[in-house]
Amino acid sequence: MVSGNLAKMHVSFGDEIQYRLSLSEDLDMNSLIGKEIHLEWTGVINCTKCKKKTKSSFGQGFCYSCFIAAPEAAECILRPELCRAHLGEGRDPEWEQKHHNTPHIVYLAASSAVKVGITRQNQIPTRWIDQGASEAIILAEVPNRYEAGKIEVALKEFFTDKTHWQKMLKNEIDKSIDLEDEKWSLEEKLPSDILNYFSENDVIWKLNYPVDQFPKKVKSLSFDKTPIIVGTLVGIKGQYLIFDNDCVLNIRKHTGYFVNIH
In terms of domains, do 86 and 141 share one?
yes
Q: Read off the pTM.
A: 0.94
User: The domain containing residue 200 runs over which residues?
Assistant: 74-206
Pair (233, 111) in one structural domain: no
Task: For 194-217, write each residue's pLDDT tens digit.
Answer: 999 999 999 999 999 999 999 999
**Contact criterion met (CB below 8 Å) for 147 and 76:** no
User: Residue 98 pLDDT > 90, yes or no?
Assistant: yes
Please give the pLDDT value at position 91.
Answer: 95
In the chain, the amino acid numbered 30 is: N
Both 129 and 116 in one domain: the answer is yes
Q: What is the pLDDT of residues 17-55, one digit of tens each?
A: 999 999 999 999 999 999 999 999 999 999 999 999 999
**Same domain assignment for residues 42 and 87:** no
Residue 161, pLDDT score? 86
- Do 114 and 149 belong together in one domain? yes
Name residues whose C-beta falls within 8 Å of residue 258's C-beta, 6 or more positions apart in sequence.
3, 4, 5, 6, 41, 42, 44, 45, 46
Same domain for 202 and 79: yes
Residue 9 in domain: yes
Judge whether 155 lies within some domain: yes
User: Residue 60: what pLDDT?
Assistant: 85
pLDDT of res. 240: 98
pLDDT digits (tens, 9 = 90+) for 100-111: 999 999 999 999
Residue 29 has a CB neighbour count (10 Å cut-off) of: 20
In this structure, are 123 and 218 located in the same domain? no
pLDDT of residue 12: 97
Number of domains in the chain: 2
